[in-house]
Amino acid sequence: MRKINFLKVVMISAILFACGNAQAQTITLDLYNNTNPVDWRDSITGNSAAGIGGGYWKYTYDETKTSLQFGDFRLSREAGWGGTFWGGFTTGSNGDIRQFGIPCPTQPCDSVHGGSVPWIQNQWGVMAGGGLNSSLGTQRGLPYLIGYWNYYGDSQGTPSLKVSMADNHLFAPQEIYICNHPWPYWGNIYGDGFARPFREGDEFKLWIHAVKSDGSQDSIMHQLAIYDRSGFSQSPDWQNIPLTRFGNNVQYIYFTMYSTDADPQYGPNTAVYFCMDRLKVTKQGAAPSNAAIRQSKAAIAPKVIEVTDYFPKESYTGGEVVIYTTQGKEVTRINVNAGEKINLSNLSKGEYCLQHGHKVIPIRKK
């Protein structure tokens, strides 16, 4: 009798162990395991061109695509202004590492490469030269994620760069790979549009935040660039960042960015892009409450800047400014000199979108 009871205990324990393992599954974000159609476009011609020569996800500017889903992972994204703006996550594949800044059209200029207009058509690269393969080697033509932080949307309290499980289950983050994006990488050296070249005391950071099921948060900082007493430093390589300190029962993670080259009202002048790949998590069986799920789906309310005859922020290095209507129709193009404000006196009253370098700013002309 005792022997039979012992066997029953062993069998029950084995069943419970197996069920527990079925609920806790370690998974890695696989960019080929996509739910939404992925088709990489050539960044110049717009033609389909997957792999080498490809550019970006063809739905990057599509306002109807409100998320990216790869297997168990859901990533936030947004688009608007008639297809002139995107934020959150998209995918790139060309592995481009080139510098697309151009000389300032007028002097004085604090950099020989101050203009940033060409970056708009070439914002799909990664400084490592490609995505990560299964052996964690860099390979050109493999896709990777590009994150663009919508400072104006985040200022309303809803993260623009958010990763969760597609079925809203909880998880335990394990690790992630982060790489510098070419636009801020070269902008930190040469300047671009709004951004100036880095000088001693400057730094550029990526913050990774975890939100738990009980509402508590924790954060991990990754240094993207720094200029201290020992000199200027930033890496072009993929960097592994352990995330195990976040522990269990994470509802979602989200990303924010910080630069010392910033304005208190208008946010970072540094182009707030980064690249990521191979996010690994342990998926857990429990799910957050319905209230927590509803809160995580709150809509972003873009911050609109009130302007009169001039945009209050001076351009560091000059270049071209484009003004769009809320429907994405171009109204005017303005060339500004280094250190001067953008003249908006010819605009009629109403709401517009101002694009200068990486900044796409909702404005209201009074």
Give the domain 305-365 fold: Immunoglobulin-like (2.60.40)
Give the angle 97-177-194 at the CA atoms, nearest 5°. Answer: 50
Q: Do 25-296 and 305-365 fold alike per CATH?
A: no
**CB 319 within 8 Å of CB 337:** no
Q: Give the residue among 203, 56, 31 at the shortest CA–CA distance from 120.
A: 56
User: Domain 25-296 sits in which CATH superfamily?
Assistant: Protein of unknown function DUF4465 (2.60.120.1350)
What is the residue extent of each domain of the chain? 25-296, 305-365
* pLDDT attached to residue 288: 62
- pLDDT digit string, tens, across residues 225-266: 999 999 999 999 999 999 999 999 999 999 999 999 998 777
- pLDDT digit string, tens, across residues 336-360: 877 788 899 999 999 998 888 778 8
Quote the CA–CA distance of 54 and 125 in Å, as a whole number. 10
Q: Which residues of the chain have pLDDT under 70?
A: 1-23, 33-54, 102-115, 156, 288-302, 316-318
Dihedral (CA of 103, 108, 111, 112) sign: positive
* pLDDT attached to residue 34: 63
